[in-house]
Structure 1
Amino acid sequence: MQIILLLLNIFGAVSLFIYGMKVMSEGVQRASGRQLQTFLNKMTGNPYSGAFAGTVFTTALQSSSIVSLLTLSFVNAGLLNLRKAFSIIVGANVGTTIKLWLIIVLGTTWHIESLALPLIAIAVPFFFFRNQKFKEWANFAIGLALVFVGLYFLNEFLPDFSSNPYLHELIQKYADETTILNSLIFVLIGIVITFLFHSSSVFILFAAVLVSKGMPLELAAMMILGANIGTTSTALIASTIGNRESKIVAWFHFFFNLGGVVVFFFFVPLIVSTLSKCVSQDGEIILVSFHTLFNIVSALLILPFLNGIVNYASKKFMNEDNSEHSLKLIGRPFGPTAKMYVYEANREVIKFAGITRQIISNLGRMITESDDEKSAELRQRIFTLEKESDELEKSILSYLNTIYTYEMTGEVALNIHRLIDICHHLESIGDIAIKTASVHKERKKNNSFITPKLRTHLIELHDSLSVATTTLVQNLNEIQGNVNLSEAKINEKSIDKRFKEAEDALLKAIDRDKLSALSALYYKDIILHYELIGDHLYQANKALGK
């Protein structure tokens, strides 16, 4: 019974540590929001700046696993290319070490348990502020406090190997017989435990505690090598539901870390011995130094060849027509927050709006196209685009409904409602465009004539629609949520004005017997459809401004 209680205490301490990491990461994600993605795109101009961005990104989010998942998500949604993603993954490994140094240095400078309560005391008052970002940074501080408490309890409950004859003898046996097989066993232990923890940082700190309890440094270092392989399992599992690019990024992460392990494997005793002489006699400091050296050297070795690796991967594994981006949730229980997923959905809605703009553009060409064959091609193109937009709408709505199962703030829930509303308006525009294209078909089939003046009014009405569509796409792309609703109102008034002018011109043409009744009916249907499309575009912009 005592052993069971001890194991439960150990697992409880590890769980508290992991939960603290989760709270920290989610707090940063919610506080920084879309700026994280913007930062990545701006800072990944070359492999070295991309690696730096990955380092900063991981330091901010406090988890390389979260960064790898977010990178996969951005790649899957088409927001990052392979070169940027590869460099971020390389930098993420280095970023992990900064977090470890933070925890180790703070923990060795002060007693860990003495830091936790002051952190919570500082954080809690911020929950009474109205500013949501203050609350999220308070969550970050509380998460850090939980990490410290988890480490404290882990240190309390783990048995001391040096005082336990059986454990000491077992560990010493493997330490004395430093064969390749023994080393591989401890690498495997590192892989398996990191896979279970879903965090190399958790395991490395776990290994540091084991060293303080008497485990030989060489064996702990071997387990750290295994942890660097095990941490890639999160991305590999997540990529199974992603597209081809996300799978390539996940496998790059695996082979990059595996390559580093192969390089370091035979030099572990020498490196550990050198670090103990030159850096510190403290086992925890030596282990974190070893982990830092591993990641920095691995990064420096691969960065000069990164562009070549990207080119090879693109030619070897990418199809020329592989342009689709599957909108699926790439994550896990401790993965990206609902807020980050909503940004992905927003990108797909932008894509949806782009398809709508193409549909409207093709409608405009049908006004002046006199060739029946080309007119039929334009109509078929509109049908194809509308079908594509219907499929995209289903994908987006299914995705957003799934996000609803996640924990989220009121702001995120409102953003989801906005996107759903916009999707409905865009879908309605596609349906109206199909009807308009069919009217054009019937008009041509019956040789219906439209006067040059009426055609001019129709072209002007179409041009106003095109401007309104562009405004919607620009508002969807607005990072800080500064929706230009005044521009949308101007566009709506312009469309209404053009519609009224076209309608008046139609009545005058009928009065002067310049138009047949059938032609007038077709023309009236077309301008009414255009006016309806304008209403939906304005309502979509209003949804963004709510």
Structure 2
Amino acid sequence: MLTTLFAIFGSLGLFLYGMKVMSEGLQKVSGEGLRALIANMTRNRLSGIVSGTLITTLVQSSSATTVMIVSFVNAKLLTLRESISMIMGANLGTTSTFWVVATLGFTFSLSSIALPCVGIGVAMIFFRTPKVRNGGEALIGFGILFLGLNFLKNSVPDVKVNPELFSFLADWSGHGMNSVAIFFVFGAILTVIVQSSSVAGAITLTLVAKGWIGYEDAAAIVLGENVGTTITANLAAMTGGVEAKRAARAHFLLNIIGVCWMLCIFGFFSNFIDQITPGAANDPAHTLYHLAAFHSLFNLINIFILSWFIPQLAYLATKMVRDKTVQGLDDAHIQYQAPNLPQTGEINLAEAQREMKRMAELTREMFTGFNEVYESPDTDLSSRIQELKAMEERSDRLAFDITQYLIYCASSELSRERLNEVTVMLRVISELEEICDNALDLVKLAKRKYQKKRVLPVETQAAIRNFSMPVDQFMNFYIQCLSRKVTAADIETAMHLEETIDASRKKLRREAVRRMNDPANIKSEMLYIDILNNIESIGDHSLNILKFLSQID
């Protein structure tokens, strides 16, 4: 008995590892396409559902998809309503696992698929072309997945040979709705334990194929798995923001409502599936198809019904998780927690890009704040100065968290192109942090000018304003370039802006040095030169950002 349990656990581990390898390989092959899909997937309810279905079919795990969706909501890449339509699609996409196993899993020797896939995949990873190598990795994962399924099939004893081994399952059957309730709870607990609805589904299908449970018992387990899989997203949202928690609650509501109405008509619905699906439901040769049809049709009907009530689901989720405001914290700030992030680095780079752009916008806001302070000598702007200092502290937190997040993404298996993108983003974040530091230094210099009553010629006011204009233009330019590919023409524009800024700084510095011939002007002019140097430094960092961005393929 103990040997059998160890064999089952080992088979499940192999199955899960194969799924992970296959998922990561497929993401490398189509990561850019997936990211484009994510960027355009929320135009309407239908596109959100289709996108969720496609992504889950690709990564073969609704848990991974829903955790990913929660992280997108947490980063404000998706709204709560948009996330609900994607979660609906994820529920439908997970049924693909049932159809793959039902069609290929137990109709012939799995080793006849698995070993050739591994062999061909290993040969492919020695190619120079990244796409071929990544495709080979996906093929190896596919082979390992089916190898694990083959071991699982062979590890679970046949009911005819060992009728006493899982006799407790037979004791649970044949008690009408009581049996349905028992197997429903069993499915929910099983999914919580293995943290994957796909693995739980594979176990269920194996038990069906071996004759340990019948069609209706397996259907009840599937309903339990639908509820159990929501636990993963809720765990991931525990350290996330309010919106992330609401998306996780919406996932739970979506599945629990579907299960409730299904349990009310369970007998009728299971008989209906039996009538429309070829073969007898309790014939092991056909039970897998009945179960796949049950799972798919249940999710399709649930989506059709609840897609008309997405605003109401969002409202309920909002009521379940109230807004929390904590003094001194930025509610929009994302707390990246690596243990709760999905292993989908290829796709999650979109979240890091969004945060990087947010930090870039913060740099421009701080520079605008400096100009406000500098040009208002007669106005008490102490509150504004404190606000700008808080912005700089926020930028430090953002830089640290985004860097952590990018390193975590890089720890997932990324393609060479995406690794290069991570390297570029890390450098850009460093430059943006330097710009924030320069902007804060400028604010402090402006404050010192008024506190120490440093007197500068009237024309320097206009000079600073004119000097700041190309810098502000440069900052707008790199914010725009963060959302698109940088071209050679963009680099030429950036070089021209930097040369303009550098020439202006040299001219204004010469004028300041000339005024320093009068000893009474030395302290004022030194402060003025410090302001010029910091503004010019922002121009240098802006040029570096454009150069780094041009390295992204």
TM-score, normalized by length of structure 1?
0.89
Greater mean deviation of Cα atoms: 517-526 or 42-51? 517-526
Name 2:73's counterpart in structure 1. Answer: 75
Name 2:204's counterpart in structure 1. Answer: 207
Instruction: State how far apart, in whole Å, the 2-side matches of 1:195 and 1:119 are.
Output: 31
Greater mean deviation of Cα atoms: 235-244 or 468-477? 468-477
Name 1:260's counterpart in structure 2. Answer: 258
Structure 1 position 193, deviation (Å): 1.4
- Residue pairs, 1:375-454, within 5 angstroms: 376-402=382-408, 406=412, 408=414, 412-454=418-460
Structure 1 position 269, deviation (Å): 3.2
Kept after mapping to 2: 8 A contact 1:221/1:268:
no
Instruction: State how far apart, in whole Å, the 2-side matches of 1:298 and 1:66 are.
Output: 21
Q: Which residue, out of 242, 266, 283, partners 1:244?
A: 242
Name 1:368's counterpart in structure 2. Answer: 375
Q: Deviations over 1:487-542 (max 9, x none)?
A: 3323221211221232344456668x8x9444433322211221122222223333
Structure 1 position 72, deviation (Å): 1.2
Q: Does 1:492 align with 2:537?
A: no
Kept after mapping to 1: 8 A contact 2:106/2:209:
no
Structure 1 position 82, deviation (Å): 0.4
Kept after mapping to 2: 8 A contact 1:454/1:506:
no
Residue aligned with 1:477, SS = coil
Instruction: State how far apart, in whole Å, the 1-side matches of 2:219 and 2:317 are.
Output: 32
Counterpart of 1:426, as a letter, is L
Instruction: State how far apart, in whole Å, the 2-side matches of 1:329 and 1:95 are.
Output: 27
Q: Does 1:190 align with 2:165?
A: no
Greater mean deviation of Cα atoms: 306-315 or 275-284? 306-315
Name 2:270's counterpart in structure 1. Answer: 272
Q: Deviations over 1:309-343 (max 9, x none)?
A: 2245446635386842323136569x323444444
Instruction: State how far apart, in whole Å, the 1-side matches of 2:70 and 2:396 are.
Output: 25
Instruction: State how far apart, in whole Å, the 2-side matches of 1:259 and 1:44 are.
Output: 23
Residue aligned with 2:94, SS = helix
Kept after mapping to 1: 8 A contact 2:230/2:248:
yes
Instruction: State how far apart, in whole Å, the 2-side matches of 1:177 and 1:299 are.
Output: 30
Instruction: State how far apart, in whole Å, the 1-side matches of 2:456 and 2:499 are.
Output: 25
Residue aligned with 1:177, SS = coil
Kept after mapping to 2: 8 A contact 1:191/1:228:
yes
Name 1:305's counterpart in structure 2. Answer: 309
Instruction: State how far apart, in whole Å, the 1-side matches of 2:319 and 2:269 are.
Output: 38
- Residue pairs, 1:450-465, within 5 angstroms: 450-465=456-471
Residue aligned with 2:96, SS = helix
Instruction: State how far apart, in whole Å, the 2-side matches of 1:34 and 1:90 are.
Output: 23
Instruction: State how far apart, in whole Å, the 2-side matches of 1:320 and 1:65 are.
Output: 27
- Residue pairs, 1:8-87, within 5 angstroms: 8-87=6-85
Distance of aligned partners of 1:110 and 1:158 in 2 relative to their CA distance in 1, 3 Å threshold: closer
Distance of aligned partners of 1:165 and 1:446 in 2 relative to their CA distance in 1, 3 Å threshold: closer
Kept after mapping to 1: 8 A contact 2:15/2:144:
yes
Instruction: State how far apart, in whole Å, the 2-side matches of 1:325 and 1:76 are.
Output: 9
Distance of aligned partners of 1:90 and 1:412 in 2 relative to their CA distance in 1, 3 Å threshold: same
Q: Does 1:346 align with 2:353?
A: yes
Instruction: State how far apart, in whole Å, the 2-side matches of 1:508 and 1:170 are.
Output: 96
Structure 1 position 172, deviation (Å): 4.0
Distance of aligned partners of 1:293 and 1:481 in 2 relative to their CA distance in 1, 3 Å threshold: farther
Greater mean deviation of Cα atoms: 484-493 or 91-100? 484-493
Instruction: State how far apart, in whole Å, the 1-side matches of 2:451 and 2:313 are.
Output: 56
Name 2:156's counterpart in structure 1. Answer: 158
Q: Does 1:327 align with 2:332?
A: no
Kept after mapping to 2: 8 A contact 1:510/1:516:
yes
Q: Does 1:128 align with 2:126?
A: yes
Greater mean deviation of Cα atoms: 395-404 or 180-189? 395-404
Kept after mapping to 2: 8 A contact 1:123/1:141:
yes
Q: Does 1:520 align with 2:525?
A: yes
Kept after mapping to 2: 8 A contact 1:77/1:327:
no
Distance of aligned partners of 1:438 and 1:236 in 2 relative to their CA distance in 1, 3 Å threshold: closer
Residue aligned with 1:161, SS = coil
Distance of aligned partners of 1:486 and 1:104 in 2 relative to their CA distance in 1, 3 Å threshold: farther
Instruction: State how far apart, in whole Å, the 1-side matches of 2:228 and 2:444 are.
Output: 58
Structure 1 position 403, deviation (Å): 5.1
Structure 1 position 347, deviation (Å): 2.7
User: Which structure 2 segments of 5+ residues have no match?
Assistant: 280-285
Residue aligned with 2:337, SS = coil
How many matched pairs?
539
Instruction: State how far apart, in whole Å, the 2-side matches of 1:73 and 1:129 are.
Output: 34
Instruction: State how far apart, in whole Å, the 1-side matches of 2:486 and 2:91 are.
Output: 33
